[in-house]
């Protein structure tokens, strides 16, 4: 029983990390696009803009938490963040599914340092 519980915890940690990596990649794409179009202020390229553009009570702290890879985010929070950046969940899933174990391990090491 204990072994199963620890396996579930590990798989959940991987999901949390992969979600954070995916959100960071999406935000990075928006930042790259924003710089190419002379910093167009309509592009959602920061935690503040994500929170403001979410059309909900999503706070910058909640957004920051989702990007940190340290805490679990609700599905509603992830959807609000993805949509506020101008993406579809299909875009999220395509990036998420392509993440390698190496990327997850590297990100985990970075998260553990902080």
Residue 4 falls inside a structural domain:
no
0.75 cut: is pTM over it? yes
Among 78, 81, 83, 86, CA closest to 43? 86
| Residue 1 belongs to a domain | no
Structural domain contains residue 2:
no
- Six-digit token pair at 55? 């059309």
- Domain assignment present for 3: no
Which H/E stretch holds residue 101? helix 101-113
Is position 67 within any domain? yes
45 part of a folded domain: yes
Q: How many domains does the chain have?
A: 1
Which residue range(s) make up the domain with 84? Answer: 9-113
Q: pLDDT tens track of the chain, all 114 residues?
A: 455 555 568 999 999 999 999 999 999 999 888 777 765 567 888 999 999 988 888 999 999 999 999 999 999 999 999 999 999 999 999 999 999 999 999 999 998 887
For residue 86, give the DSSP letter.
T
Are the C-beta atoms of residues 55 and 81 closer than 8 Å to each other? no
Q: At what angle do helices 2-36 and 89-98 cross, to 10 degrees?
A: 120
**Angle of CA points 34, 107, 11, to nearest 5°:** 120
């Amino acid at each position: 029983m204990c072994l199963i519980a620890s396996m579930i915890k590990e798989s959940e940690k991987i999901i949390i990390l992969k979600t954070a990596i995916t959100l960071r990649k999406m935000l990075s794409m928006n930042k790259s696009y924003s710089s190419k179009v002379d910093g167009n202020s309509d592009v959602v390229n920061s935690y503040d803009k994500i929170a403001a553009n979410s059309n909900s009570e999503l706070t910058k702290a909640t957004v920051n938490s989702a990007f940190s890879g340290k805490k679990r985010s609700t599905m509603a929070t992830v959807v609000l963040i993805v949509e506020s950046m101008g993406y579809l969940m299909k875009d999220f899933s395509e990036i998420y599914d392509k993440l390698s174990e190496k990327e997850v391990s590297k990100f985990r090491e970075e998260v553990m340092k902080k």
